């Protein structure tokens, strides 16, 4: 028995030693593993924990509001929610997509959106957007599905309460709240503000349990335009009717205050609703008032006449022989729209005689005409506070052909924007003074000007010459090609224009394609408004500026004057009847 007891004790001690040794080895293993995790790999596992538990989210700031001159809101930002997803660490891609697609009946994701989501998930990001800036009703339905990992971050959505009003001027913003055209683009830095940042802590089921704002966003600055929403509406309504009635390809209208250069309305057709930006038709985004270049035709005779009188190369009493109705030039003849007799200088402008204007241009000469054209600002941007303004084309006399002097005298071989032609008429309205156009009244509460030609008014022609031309342009409306522009109870002054469109492919002017225009100001003696109307390729019955554009001028002028509190005088314009130019006569 003693032997068996001793053997048992030995066996027990041996087993105890083995167990202690095993425990020691296990303890050393645990210690080594803890050393590896807590010391050697501490940084890697800490970073993974951060990735798993923390979500860094950008806080989008409040974009500045855009107002018209009276404080009417044209563009503002409204709170809205998006749908996002926080992928779990190590979660298989197919499981993530399965989760997200549970939202499809509510979000109605397109194939392109699903492909984009899957592509982004492959990069194992901590957060992705599923759908941006979603209606509140859809958000509530998505929340009700209770899909894990789905979040609903706050965002801002641009809203244009006036719809299509001034769409090309305002422009639009992209999904990232960045301005992409118009005022939204030009002043994006001011309007956008600066982003904020917040951190969200989530548990293993992606549920947020702590949110902390690390940096507050800074709201963008507000912008006040010189536009008058009421006059802008009048201009757009009249332009749309004219484009539709005349079956024109496009059109543009600008209304300004000559004395200050303020733009009260700037409209282009076709247009679009900036609430659905970008539009399906890219052409609708073009602000044709400042971007579309065209040969101005007879409205440019304002400049030719100014050059003649200012440089004393012609006089008001001088006569010009227009009896043939045609004048020979290098490269071909230039015709009048009807045959006239001997015309005095004012009658050349009143009746819009090409033959007479060519003779005036020849007496002025290339050097002086070119100098006057440049003095009026053609060939360079006006500096209006809008993006993508076109400078137009004015070639130096050294690049002119033998026909160029004659062509430029009647508004060909030169390209301009509607705004540049309006500015030329404003020089006459302002008695010889050029006042830079502006569409910005204030930026973030402060006045701001960004003019290419300078901020200060500049004298272009003498006051006497401007007064003489204003009187002639008034007669254009009373007795000449602009009768359809007459405004009952007000004196009005202006000039018609009709231009054939040049086809670069055929290297010739198209007899079936025209641009009809009218530019003028009212009242003639103390202009409160200046207006230009341009219709591109009207196809219905007529295409002459005096027939298709002048009536639009009248309609806008009548309604805008009333809106400004100016009413007709019974002693003005009583002899003007029905203001329609005769059929078949080319103004």
The string of DSSP letters for 164-215 reads TTTHHHH-EE-TTS-EEEHHHHHTHHHHH-B-EEEEEEE-TTS-EEEEEEEE
The pLDDT of 127-149, averaged and rounded, is 91
Q: Is the pLDDT of residue 311 over 90?
A: yes
The pLDDT of 184-201, averaged and rounded, is 86
Question: Closest Cα to residue 554, out of 478, 496, 487, 475?
Answer: 487
Q: Is the pLDDT of residue 558 over 90?
A: yes
The pLDDT of 412-419, averaged and rounded, is 97
Output Rg (C-alpha) for the chain, integer angstroms: 36
DSSP state of 218: B
The pLDDT of 431-450, averaged and rounded, is 85
Q: Where do runs of H (alpha helix) occur along 227-377?
A: 229-246, 288-291, 301-310, 345-350, 354-364, 366-375
Least confident of 190-199, 377-386, 422-431, 485-494: 190-199
pLDDT band per the 50, 70, 90 thresholds, residue 582: very low
Residue % of the chain over a pLDDT of 90: 70
- Within 8 A by CB and 6+ apart from 294, the residues are 415, 416, 499, 501, 515, 534, 536
- Within 8 A by CB and 6+ apart from 88, the residues are 52, 96, 149, 204, 206
Question: For the segment 489-530, what is each residue's pLDDT rounded down to a tens digit?
Answer: 999 999 999 999 988 888 888 888 999 999 999 999 999 999
What confidence score (pLDDT) does residue 198 get? Answer: 72
DSSP state of 55: E
pLDDT band per the 50, 70, 90 thresholds, residue 43: low
Question: For the segment 348-387, what is each residue's pLDDT rounded down to a tens digit?
Answer: 999 999 999 999 999 999 999 999 999 999 999 999 999 9
**Orientation angle between helical segments 93-101 and 111-121, nearest 10 degrees:** 140
Question: Closest Cα to residue 491, out of 411, 400, 561?
Answer: 561
Q: How far apart are CA 489 and CA 139, in angstroms?
A: 58
Residue 395 CA to its chain's centroid (Å): 28
Q: How far apart are CA 552 and CA 238, in angstroms?
A: 6
In terms of Cβ atoms closer than 10 Å to its own Cβ (0-12, 13-18, 19+), residue 456 is exposed
What confidence score (pLDDT) does residue 376 get? Answer: 97
pLDDT band per the 50, 70, 90 thresholds, residue 106: very high
Q: Where do runs of H (alpha helix) occur along 446-524?
A: 463-479
- Within 8 A by CB and 6+ apart from 511, the residues are 500
What confidence score (pLDDT) does residue 506 get? Answer: 84
pTM, two decimals, is 0.86
Residue % of the chain over a pLDDT of 70: 88
Question: For the segment 448-492, what is each residue's pLDDT rounded down to a tens digit?
Answer: 554 445 567 899 999 999 999 999 999 999 999 999 999 999 999
SS (H, E, C) 277-315: CCCCCHHHHCCHHHHCCECCHHHHHHHHHHHHHHCCCCC
Q: Is the pLDDT of residue 585 over 50?
A: no
| Tokens linked to 501 | 């469109």
Sign of CA dihedral 518, 522, 526, 532: negative
Q: Is the pLDDT of residue 108 over 50?
A: yes
The pLDDT of 408-423, averaged and rounded, is 98
What confidence score (pLDDT) does residue 577 get? Answer: 34
The pLDDT of 330-340, averaged and rounded, is 91
pLDDT band per the 50, 70, 90 thresholds, residue 202: low
Write the DSSP string, 107-120.
Answer: H---HHHHHHHHHH
Q: How far apart are CA 307 and CA 465, in angstroms?
A: 10
What confidence score (pLDDT) does residue 11 get? Answer: 73
Residue 70 CA to its chain's centroid (Å): 21
| CA dist 278 → 62, 116, 173, 258 (Å) | 21, 20, 8, 33
- Which domains does the chain possess? 57-225 (3.90.1310.10), 229-563 (3.40.710.10)
What confidence score (pLDDT) does residue 574 get? Answer: 42
Q: How far apart are CA 528 and CA 467, in angstroms?
A: 16
Residue indicated by tokens 């719809």: 163
Residue 182 CA to its chain's centroid (Å): 3
What confidence score (pLDDT) does residue 578 get? Answer: 34
Residue 400 CA to its chain's centroid (Å): 34
Sign of CA dihedral 179, 110, 273, 129: negative
């Amino acid at each position: 028995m003693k032997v068996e007891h001793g053997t048992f004790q030995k066996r027990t001690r041996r087993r105890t030693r083995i167990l202690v040794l095993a425990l020691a080895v296990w303890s050393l293993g645990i210690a080594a593993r803890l050393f590896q995790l807590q010391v050697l790999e501490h940084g890697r596992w800490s970073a993974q924990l951060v990735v798993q538990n923390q979500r860094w989210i950008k806080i989008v700031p409040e974009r500045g509001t855009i107002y018209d001159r009276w404080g009417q809101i044209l563009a503002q930002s409204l709170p809205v929610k998006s749908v996002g997803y926080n992928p779990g660490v190590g979660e298989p891609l197919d499981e993530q997509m399965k989760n997200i697609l549970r939202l499809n009946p509510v979000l109605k994701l397109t194939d392109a959106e699903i492909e984009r989501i899957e592509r982004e998930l492959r990069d194992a990001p901590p957060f992705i957007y599923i759908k941006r800036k979603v209606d509140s009703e859809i958000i509530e339905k998505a929340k009700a599905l209770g899909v894990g990992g789905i979040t609903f971050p706050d965002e801002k959505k641009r809203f244009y309460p006036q719809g299509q009003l001034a769409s090309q001027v305002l422009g639009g913003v992209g999904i990232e709240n960045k301005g992409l055209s118009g005022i939204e683009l030009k002043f994006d830095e001011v309007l956008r503000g600066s982003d904020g940042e917040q951190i969200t802590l989530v548990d293993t089921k992606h549920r947020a349990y702590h949110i902390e704002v690390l940096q507050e966003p800074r709201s963008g600055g507000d912008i006040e335009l010189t536009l008058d929403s009421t006059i802008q509406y009048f201009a757009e309504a009249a332009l749309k009717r004219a484009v539709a009635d005349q079956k024109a390809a496009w059109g543009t209208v600008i209304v300004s205050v000559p004395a200050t250069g303020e733009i009260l309305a700037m409209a282009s057709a076709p247009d679009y609703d900036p609430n659905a930006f970008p539009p399906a038709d890219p052409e609708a985004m073009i602000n044709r008032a400042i971007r579309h270049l065209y040969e101005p035709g007879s409205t440019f005779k304002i400049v030719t006449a100014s050059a003649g009188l200012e440089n004393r190369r012609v006089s008001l009493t001088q006569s010009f022989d227009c009896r043939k109705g045609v004048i020979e030039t290098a490269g071909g003849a230039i015709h009048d729209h009807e045959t006239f007799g001997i015309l005095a200088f004012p009658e050349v402008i009143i009746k819009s005689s090409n033959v007479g204007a060519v003779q005036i241009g020849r007496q002025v000469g290339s050097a002086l005409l070119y100098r006057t054209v440049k003095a009026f600002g053609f060939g360079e941007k006006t500096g209006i506070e809008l993006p993508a303004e076109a400078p137009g084309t004015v070639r130096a006399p050294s690049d002119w052909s033998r026909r160029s002097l004659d062509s430029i005298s009647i508004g060909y071989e030169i390209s301009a924007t509607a705004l540049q032609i309006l500015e030329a008429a404003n020089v006459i309205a302002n008695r010889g003074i050029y006042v830079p156009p502006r569409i910005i009244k204030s930026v973030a509460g402060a006045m701001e000007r960004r003019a290419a030609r300078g901020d200060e008014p500049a004298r272009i022609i003498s006051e006497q010459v401007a007064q003489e031309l204003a009187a002639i342009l008034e007669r254009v409306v009373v007795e000449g090609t602009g009768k359809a522009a007459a405004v009952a109870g007000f004196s009005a002054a202006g000039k018609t224009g009709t231009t054939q469109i040049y086809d670069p492919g055929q290297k010739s002017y198209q007899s079936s394609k025209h641009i009809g225009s009218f530019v003028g100001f009212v009242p003639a003696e103390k202009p409160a408004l200046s207006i230009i109307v341009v219709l591109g390729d009207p196809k219905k019955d007529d295409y002459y500026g005096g027939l298709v554009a002048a009536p639009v001028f009248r309609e806008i002028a009548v309604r805008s004057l009333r809106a400004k509190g100016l009413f007709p005088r019974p002693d003005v314009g009583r002899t003007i009847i029905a203001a329609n130019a005769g059929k078949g006569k080319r103004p």
